[in-house]
Structure 1
Amino acid sequence: MHAALTARRAAAPAADAAFIDADIALHASVVAAAHNPVLTDLFGEFVPALREGLVALLDLVDIHREESDHGDAAHEALVLAVESGDPEEAERVALAELEATFGRLKGRGRA
């Protein structure tokens, strides 16, 4: 997970498809940490649609304009929660990050 987090950080400045691929790889490592083959297979099947959606999201929202290290703290907190075996914290971090992203999208619709 730490190698995937490092790769995500390295790709972040570009905010392009390579960043999306690094972000997905990080999430895949989190899924793999669950040691649940069904979840791992399900995530693998979902990746193409997820990637397409996230690339489209980059076109909608300039995530790096306001926050050059978008989501880095949350992704690090997620890795730490998974490493420490704290599913409640991992859930809290993931939900907070999703809510922040949805908030940005909702705010964009009002502009």
Structure 2
Amino acid sequence: MSCSRPATSSPVEDWSTRLRRAAITDVYELRVCVEVGAAELAARRRTPEDIDALHTALAGRRAAVRVGDAEFVAADIALHEAVVAAAHNPVLTGLFTEFLPVLRTRLLDLVALLGLRTADGPDDGDAGHADLVDAVVRGDSAAAGRAARDELDRTLALLDRL
């Protein structure tokens, strides 16, 4: 009796490679799965330092509206990183950190694909991000989860129209 596993015809694709190949819709579906729970945990676990970081990140996102796409995407990601950090779950933080390079690339693609922003236009996502920060700060986990889901679902709906 042999304990060896049968040979496969192709190597198993590692997580990083799979993420790089992911379609933008796949990335957003994963974000819903990860970030809604992170927002709920953040609302329950946030510290005064997390609250400061969230307010700083929201202000940074607002300031980045008038700059280039790369800077805006970096500021948007920083806000979402602050929410994940406030969840105080090292496994969740590690997963999100692993996911960041692909998220950055896909967000840049998304901004270009959907024409979501212009240097002189409004930030359509500001209200949703403000709601998310407010809910986490207030400690309302249900509202934080809804705010995260609503913002991500809004983008998924735009993608569905393509």
Kept in 2, the 8 Å contact 1:5–1:76? The answer is yes
Runs of at least 4 residues off by over 3 Å: none
Alignment of structure 1 residues 49-88 onto 2, 5 Å: 49-64=102-117, 68-88=122-142
**Pair member with larger Rg:** 2
RCO greater where, 1 or 2, for CA within 8 Å and sep 6 or more?
A: 2
Paired residue type of 1:38 = V
The one-letter code matched in structure 1 to 2:82 is S
Question: Take 1:15 and 1:87, find their aligned partners in 2: how far apart are those partners?
Answer: 33
**Residue of structure 2 equivalent to 1:33:** 86
User: Would you say the 8 A contact 1:15–1:58 is kept in 2?
Assistant: no
In the TM superposition, residue 83 of structure 1 has moved relative to its aligned partner by 1.2
Segments of structure 1 that go 5 or more residues without pairing to the other structure are: none
Task: Choose between structure 1 and 2: higher helix proportion.
Answer: 1
Q: 1:101 and 2:139 equivalent? A: no
Percent sequence identity is 51
1:75–1:15 CA distance, 2 compared to 1 (3 A): farther
Residue deviations 1:17-52, cap 9 Å, x none? 110000000000011111111111111111001001
For structure 2, list consecutive stretches of 5 or more residues without a partner in the other structure: 1-53
Q: Secondary structure at the match of 1:58?
A: helix
> Are the counterparts in 1 of residues 128 and 151 from structure 2 also a CA contact under 8 Å?
yes
